Amino acid sequence: MNDWLHTTITSWYAANQRELPWRDPGTTAWGVLVSEVMSQQTPVGRVAPLWTQWMERWPTPTDFAAANTADVLRAWDRLGYPRRALRLHECAQAVVDRHDGEVPSDLDELLALPGIGTYTASAVAVFAYGKRHPVVDTNVRRVVARYAGGEPDAGMATTRRDLTATEALLPTDAATAAIVSIGLMELGATLCAARKVDCGECPLKPRCKFHATGAELPDRPSRKTQRYHGTTRYVRGQIMALLRANDTPVPRVAIDGVWHEDARRAEALAGLITDGLVDALDGDLFVLAGADGD
DNA sequence: TACACGTGGCA
DNA sequence: TTGCCAAGTGT
């Protein structure tokens, strides 16, 4: 009963998809996995150039598993959330240890890997291996909420409900379902964004409940955000940037320069050490984790 | 369930 | 300019 949706999305995506390096037909499952992890909470346009360099440097899980952690964190550069780089490194090691260096295609095996949650596991199974699963990210949740629910935004992320609602829209055929999923994501990332809709260009307009009811976006943001400057997260970022820029151990007094509040700075540094992103050396010196080789 | 977790572009 | 927002995951 959703045939119209499937053919509409499929043809729209074929004609309008953005050029992204990991969409090249020759991309490996590992390449897909890396692109998905890098894209977590990060605009894909910022990911693309880094992904290309990354895959040239570490083409396979085995290559990457052997990399030094400090090199990984430097290569991650300012992509954000450096813990993702750590998880990706652990993920490569798990792929080598548990799967003989081959990215698994089974959803549960993917889910068991470090840094791989519901979304990423589905995305790899579907986009790299052609499996049939609903792939539900923030874009899909929003587009489905608007198209099928007539609501301006998706509600709270409740995995089960999201999977059910998306599942109901997908075709039986795995290959087509994959294109519908990537098409919904693309639509949400381009024409049907959180704060800006372009119904005039949208192929789903004729049957979209949200458009039918006026497509009015609320003035209020759909989710709460917090101030960033001066937060622990901000100070962590400043410390990481300082350590990335230095090949030699950095004395505490240098770190003291990144933020004026002692307590905040201490909290940030302690957190980075706890998270395995920073190593403390004798003499009150600090380095990127694994800077001496893992 | 709710919060922590980086960074930079855009309106 | 300030603040929203981005292919989420782990706790």
CA A34 – CA A28 distance, rounded (Å) = 10
Rounded to a whole number of angstroms, the distance between the first and last alpha carbons of chain A is 55
Task: Quote the pLDDT of residue A220.
Answer: 61
Least reliable range by pLDDT among A48-57, A132-141, A217-226, A268-277 = A217-226
Task: Quote the pLDDT of residue A227.
Answer: 76
Q: How much is the average pLDDT of A153-163?
A: 80
Task: Quote the pLDDT of residue A222.
Answer: 46
Number of separate domains in chain A: 2
User: How confident is the model over A204-249, as pLDDT tens digits?
Assistant: 999 999 999 999 988 765 444 457 899 999 999 999 999 999 999 9
Q: Which of A127, A155, A187 lies at the terminal end of a domain, its last residue?
A: A127
Task: Quote the pLDDT of residue A218.
Answer: 82
CB within 7 A of strand B (chain A, 212-241): 224, 226, 228, 231-234, 236-238, 240-241
Query: Is the model's pLDDT at A293 over the cut of 90?
Result: no
Q: Which nucleotides of strand C come closer than 7 angstroms to any CB of the protein?
A: 3-10
A117: nt with nearest C1' to CA: C9
Q: Which of A95, A127, A159 lies at the terminal end of a domain, its last residue?
A: A127
Task: Quote the pLDDT of residue A255.
Answer: 98
Asked, for residue A193, whether it belongs to a domain, the answer is no
Asked, for residue A172, whether it belongs to a domain, the answer is no
Task: Quote the pLDDT of residue A292.
Answer: 76
Q: Which of A102, A127, A152 lies at the terminal end of a domain, its last residue?
A: A127
Q: Which nucleotides of strand B come closer than 7 angstroms to any CB of the protein?
A: 1-9, 11
Query: Is the model's pLDDT at A145 over the cut of 80?
Result: yes
- Radius of gyration for chain A, computed over Cα atoms and rounded to the nearest angstrom: 21
Task: Quote the pLDDT of residue A161.
Answer: 79
Query: Is the model's pLDDT at A173 over the cut of 80?
Result: yes
Least reliable range by pLDDT among A11-15, A218-222, A260-264 = A218-222
CA A144 – CA A139 distance, rounded (Å) = 8
Asked, for residue A242, whether it belongs to a domain, the answer is yes
Cα–Cα distance list, A45 to A18, A80, A189, A230, A262 (Å)? 10, 14, 11, 27, 36
A81: nt with nearest C1' to CA: B6
**pLDDT mean across residues, chain A:** 95
Task: Quote the pLDDT of residue A226.
Answer: 57
Query: Is the model's pLDDT at A185 over the cut of 70?
Result: yes
Identify, with chain letter, the residue nearest to nucleotide C4 (CA–C1').
A221
Query: Is the model's pLDDT at A160 over the cut of 70?
Result: yes
Q: How much is the average pLDDT of A197-210?
A: 97
Q: How open is the CA angle A43-A49-A54, to the nearest 5 degrees?
A: 110
Q: How much is the average pLDDT of A86-109?
A: 98
Asked, for residue A167, whether it belongs to a domain, the answer is no
CA A62 – CA A150 distance, rounded (Å) = 46
Domain of A276, CATH number, reads: 1.10.10.10
Q: How much is the average pLDDT of A64-76?
A: 98
Residue of A36, A18, A48 whose CA lies nearest to A190? A18
- Is there contact between A21 and strand B, defined as CB under 7 Å from any strand atom? no
Identify, with chain letter, the residue nearest to nucleotide C8 (CA–C1').
A40
Task: Quote the pLDDT of residue A224.
Answer: 47
Asked, for residue A219, whether it belongs to a domain, the answer is no
Percent of chain A whose predicted confidence (pLDDT) is above 70? 96
Asked, for residue A64, whether it belongs to a domain, the answer is yes
Residue A238 belongs to domain spanning: 232-288
Asked, for residue A80, whether it belongs to a domain, the answer is yes
Q: How much is the average pLDDT of A87-109?
A: 98
Task: Quote the pLDDT of residue A156.
Answer: 80
